[in-house]
Amino acid sequence: MTHTERINNYKATSAAHAYIIGFIVKTLVYCLTLTELPDWMFKDDREGSTRGGALKLRFNPTKNDKYVMIHTMGAEVVGTVDEVLTGRKNKGEAWEKYLTEKAGQTWKKDSVPYYLDGDLTVDGVKYQIKFESASFANENTIQKALEYKAAH
């Protein structure tokens, strides 16, 4: 799969209706909710060799990307790193826990694939939650998602 094919296949198989992404600038955590992610948010990376070395898509915004999200896309400060990313070593899990509890729900760690369900459902809207440096999916998982969608 090419980079563009990975992105298009990921988008076509995602169970989410919208995305909540988070990132840090200095000591502040920003939040941006989008119904569709622009292609530039997807960076190519590779899994470690102990995980198979597959190509993957990652949300790893540059300083310029963060500037664009704040000044042209409406990202807003939700708090400081110490206020928002508490209680968990993994920032992605802390972010998901923060958003879930903010929505009045109980957070529970899970490993449901992105193509079966969102990370958080509020008022019938399924959200995929990502924090900076998060993986969207590797090529093998995207292929499984395509096969699943074809079978269902």
> Is-contact 120 99, C-beta < 8 A?
yes
Tokens 């807003």 correspond to what residue? 76
**Residue 91 in tokens:** 């920032």
CA 56 to chain centre: 13
Better-predicted residue by pLDDT, 49 or 39? 39
Query: Residue 39 pLDDT more than 90?
Result: yes
Query: pTM for the complete prediction?
Result: 0.92
Confidence of residue 12 (pLDDT cuts 50, 70, 90): very high
For residue 56, the cross-strand partners are 45, 138
In this prediction, residue 48 has a pLDDT band, given cuts at 50, 70 and 90, of: confident
Average pLDDT, the chain: 94
